[in-house]
Amino acid sequence: MLKRTALYSAHQKIGGKLIEFGGWEMPVQYTSITDEHLAVRKAAGIFDISHMGEVTVSGAGAEAFLNSVLTNDVCKLAAGEGQYTLMCNERGGVIDDLYAYKLSDGVYFLIINASRIDPDVAWLQSQASRFSGDLDLTDASHNYAAIAVQGPRVKEFINTVIPGASSSAMRVAAVTDLKKNQIGGFKFGTSGILVSRTGYTGEDGFEIVGSDDAIQRLWDQCLTLGQPFGLKPAGLGARDTLRTEVCYPLYGHELDESTTPIEAGVGFFVSLDKGEFNGRAVLAEQKARGVKKKCVAFKMTDKSAPPRPHYPIWANGAPVGEVVSGTQSPSLNLGIGMGYVPPEWAAPGTIIEIEIRGKRAPAVVVSKPIYRKI
Amino acid sequence: MSNVPSDLKYAKSHEWVRVSGDTAVVGITDHAQAELTDIVFVELPALGRRVKAGEACAVVESVKTASDIYAPVSGEITELNTTVAANPALANTEPYAGGWFFKMKLSQPGELTALLSPEDYKKQIGG
């Protein structure tokens, strides 16, 4: 039985086409992936992200614990700030990628992938059982629904949806005073909600976490007040094309338990100098000596079918790797993707080929992100 | 509501067939294009290829995914719509006109009776 979010009937009402994703019944599109994608690039889009998981970690030992299980350095966070980070096993393989927020001293809020809630929580609990400090760890996923409101025009209406100043975490006079990666607690009617200036699209925008009831009302309010600014509901299809254009990894594609953050190209979020943490030895060695495979971005150079996950990548007449994400880019109107290749084929400008249904089509390795705002 | 022209025959796999003499024109239905949306690539069969009814012989790609197109009847591929290959969005905007895929010479005209009538296809798609 697939799980349904608090917005399930809202999606049905506006004709969302529902598919299975990570055990959830989620809208893949409402009208067209291309239209929804371009609305987010040019104006605004609203996504249901209630399937994502939330974990609270608190106590005097919370900071030290998180720094022992996550790759980024949580000590760098002030109250009301968040960071992208990864959770690795002892081999440096990625258990999940996530956002860690510091709400106040000793109180942290993690947002994790829907498909990884069970393995993440099991891993965190096993790590916590070996940790001696004061620690409370709670899977709060079932308490929360969430939306992402993304696009260059969101800042023009979001303060009318959520009026007033924050009352916890980052203290600001208005939602739009939050800076990138900051999070604030706001009141929406009588409900408390968390609003962060983050997203998964490469555009300015906000992610909002709250009770089912608050998120249902927020969804309706955003659609009403955002509509004059071009806001459209957007599904997982557009979410995937948007994140692929800006080369954000998706768990199960760029990341898995046998791939390290260094190989995936997110070594920037691995803080080797913060002290010991899970996977550190392997990651330090890879940073110093290099890796055997690298996640590269590529563009098709001729008109071809779009690249898709698992298509073979060829270089110099031999298969050298595999596509992990691939689609037609609605912004660039050509096939784009990411894949793993040995480092000798990873430099931008390298000519490669993508095997599509038995035929090879030319492509070129490009620097990340594939799409850049002009 | 999807458009299901009354002068065509239909395959369960959402292709339409327009027959004249021993030649059939094949495309995908309005319902199929609406389900796929955002068609970005059409891969047509080789000219002269002999296909059997039900054989996958073309591919249509939306932003999200690749879908096989099946030969509704058996025969030889005699003409390709290079216009739809160059401008795949035609399959979305004109599925029964400029968005046709290929023509074929029927080798088993009797198979046409196994195809769906417009009424039966409407029932299949819940229209």
Confidence band (pLDDT; 50, 70, 90) for B101?
very high
Per CB-CB distance under 8 Å, the chain B contacts of A330 are 38, 63
Closest residue in A to B61 (Cα) is: A305
Q: A8-50+144-244 and A292-367: same fold?
A: no
Whether residues A32 and B38 touch (CB distance < 8 A) is answered with: yes
Query: CB contact, 8 Å: A325 with chain B?
Result: no
B14/chain A closest Cα distance in angstroms: 19
pLDDT at A273: 96
Residue A24 β-bridge partners: A3, A21
* Residue B127 confidence class, pLDDT cut points 50, 70, 90: low
- Reported pTM: 0.95
Confidence of residue B36 (pLDDT cuts 50, 70, 90): very high
Contact A354, A311 (CB under 8 A): yes
**A373 — pLDDT class (breaks 50, 70, 90):** confident
Shortest distance between the Cα of A327 and any Cα of chain B, in A, equals 6
Answer yes or no: are the C-beta atoms of A360 and A370 closer than 8 Å: no
Minimal Cα–Cα distance from B32 to chain A, Å? 14
Instruction: Report yes or no: A4 at the B interface, CB cutoff 8 Å.
Output: no
Q: Hey, is the C-beta of B85 within 8 angstroms of any chain A C-beta? A: no
CB burial of A16-55 (b: ≥16 within 10 Å; e: otherwise) equals bebbebbebbbbbbbbbbbbbbbbbbebbbbbbbbbbbbb
Pick the CATH number of A8-50+144-244 from 3.40.50.1820, 1.10.357.10, 1.20.1260.10, 3.30.1360.120: 3.30.1360.120
Pull the structure tokens for residue A120.
Answer: 């993440």
* pLDDT for the residue numbered A1: 83
Domain ranges of chain A: 8-50+144-244, 53-133, 292-367
CA separation (Å) from A199 to A45, A146, A154, A193, A206? Answer: 11, 12, 12, 17, 6
Interface test with A, best of B1, B35, B40, B92 (most A CBs within 10 A): B40
Q: Which residue of B has its CA nearest to A333?
A: B40
Fold of A53-133: Alpha-Beta Plaits (3.30.70)
Domain ranges for chain B:
9-109
Model confidence pLDDT, tens digit, residues A294-349: 999 999 999 999 999 999 999 999 999 999 999 999 999 999 999 999 999 999 99
The ipTM of this complex is 0.89
In CATH, the number for domain A292-367 is 2.40.30.110
A306 touches chain B (CB under 8 A): yes
What digits encode the pLDDT tens for the residues A194-247? 999 999 999 999 999 999 999 999 999 999 999 999 999 999 999 999 999 999
Asked: is B9-109 a CATH 2.40.50.100 domain? The reply is yes
Is residue B37 scored above 80 in pLDDT? yes
Q: B-chain residues within 8 Å CB-CB of A33?
A: 37-38, 62-64
